[in-house]
Amino acid sequence: MTKGSVGKVTTQFVDILEGLELEGGSRLQHLRIAYETYGTLNRDRSNGILVCHALSGDAHAAGVSDEDGRNGWWEIAIGPGKAFDTDRYFVICSNVLGGCKGTTGPSSTDPATGKPYGISFPVVTIRDMVAAQKRLIDNLGIRHLFAVAGGSMGAMQVLQWCVDFPEMVRKAVVIATSAASTAQQIAFNEVGRRAIMADPAWQDGNYYGAREPVHGLAVARMVGHITYLSDDSMHSKFGRRLQVREQPGFDFSTEFQVESYLRHQGDAFTRRFDANSYLYITKAIDYFDLARDGSLITGLAPVKAKVLVVGITSDWLYPPYQQQEIVSALTANEQDVHYGEIRSHYGHDAFLLEAGQLNYLVGTFLSTSLVRDVMVPDAPTIPEETSVAAAAKMMIRLEVNHLPVHDGGDRLTGIVTSWDIAKAVACGLDRLDEIITRNVITALADDPIEEAAHLMEAHAISALPVVDAGKKVIGIITSDAISTLIGRCP
């Protein structure tokens, strides 16, 4: 276990009994989601970060798996003191819909037949994957995510989150991806799929319980893995060096080191991944296209999150110009977007390898926070012409300790707390306007978090209504949310 690790972790499961409607028109009657969490969810449930994995990933993003001892696939970025600091954030990662690591996919049992779905599993999309994740987040009782983050296919999910659930996402980290799969990317995926389907053991997807199409899957992985590297990294690591002999053998054995490396990658992949899942996930990537009516600007118009887009200089699978297209579209919409680059010769895989640059870019983006980043938007309010009993019932029902009070038109006139309600009951007071605090300390959405924390500390209060220029209440921020993110005690 390395320094900064979250330690041993156990994969958890949740069953979504109502099933899931899919974009293609089919319906899954039952959905199981595998997920892991790291860190602690704060009292306001405002510090959640959803991490989305790429094609070959799974729910095990960090720490040491208590099942097989593996380190998480994003161990370099998740943990105490890292970009996704588990001393501050509650990090969640789930296996995607259609996967083979615990979430419902083609290798899962079809309730209708009692056998694995195989190729009868419905085709899924990135939007379907995000819809499944939304069910998980709802199940965890989280109304707003502090951030959603991912690289490659994971970043496609991030963008889809920002479009489909804009009110839920405060910050978004989009790394090494595209807003739509290009012809070249689709072509590589198709070669991989055909390699699997050409394997005699594939048996039209019904190979479960028999010999699996490991040869086809290995070739698919070899082709895919080449796209994750760069010419510089392959030259540096392998060049034209031979594996075990000093001179060419003039035969078709595995001679070059790069050949041996690719075969190893292919063989290792077949021991942890399902061939049918590879078909389904790559197809979902191919279908991904956020443009609407031919316009990416229109497609990204719903985004409300503050977005960090990161490119990789040597990535030829998702070259930087594709991330810059996302930035341009968001900028055209006057949305809050920042661009950064990882300078690396590792190619597409750099977001899994360049720990220093990644932690700096993402960590700085996440930790530079304004009040709007952690406030609870659309916070419940109450008109001042309300009874104490009605206010008490509202607090109990919504499980809140503070209610901003308005004049009937959402303009802030005061605030009432659960302590105020308790005093009113003890004193036999019936009207809310007899107990509210009129001189209310407030915050603006664009105030730095540190400024809000200073106000709370100076006035010994635990919540601040967030208002706009017209004193209309647009949210509330609590000391619990602030203390989690900047390390202050309430």
Instruction: Give the residue numbers marked as catalytic.
Output: 152, 315, 348
DSSP annotation of 291 reads -
Q: Do residues 139 and 132 lie in contact, with contact meaning Cβ atoms separated by under 8 Å?
A: no
What b-and-e string marks burial along 453-462, b requiring 16 or more CB atoms within 10 Å of the CB? beebeeeebe
Cα separation, 157 vs 283, in Å, equals: 14
Q: What angle, rounded to 10 degrees, do the helices at 214-228 and 183-197 form?
A: 160
DSSP annotation of 50 reads E
Q: What angle, rounded to 10 degrees, do the helices at 126-139 and 275-287 form?
A: 100
Cα separation, 228 vs 185, in Å, equals: 12
3-state helix/strand/coil string of 125-186: CHHHHHHHHHHHHHHCCCCCEEEEEEECHHHHHHHHHHHHCHHHEEEEEEECCCCECCHHHH
Q: Scan for tokens 């807003």, then name that residue.
A: 179
DSSP annotation of 474 reads E
Cα separation, 107 vs 472, in Å, equals: 52
CA 187 to chain centre: 27
Cα separation, 450 vs 209, in Å, equals: 58
Provide the residue type at 406 as one letter. Answer: H
Cα separation, 169 vs 52, in Å, equals: 14
Cα separation, 65 vs 55, in Å, equals: 20
Cα separation, 369 vs 353, in Å, equals: 26
**Nearest alpha-carbon partner for 38 in 83, 111, 89, 3:** 89
Show the CA angle centred on residue 147, arms to residues 143 and 151, nearest 5°: 130
CA distances from 425 to 386, 390, 394, 430, 437 (A): 15, 12, 15, 8, 16
Q: Do residues 346 and 205 lie in contact, with contact meaning Cβ atoms separated by under 8 Å?
A: no
Cα separation, 256 vs 248, in Å, equals: 9
Provide the residue type at 273 as one letter. Answer: F
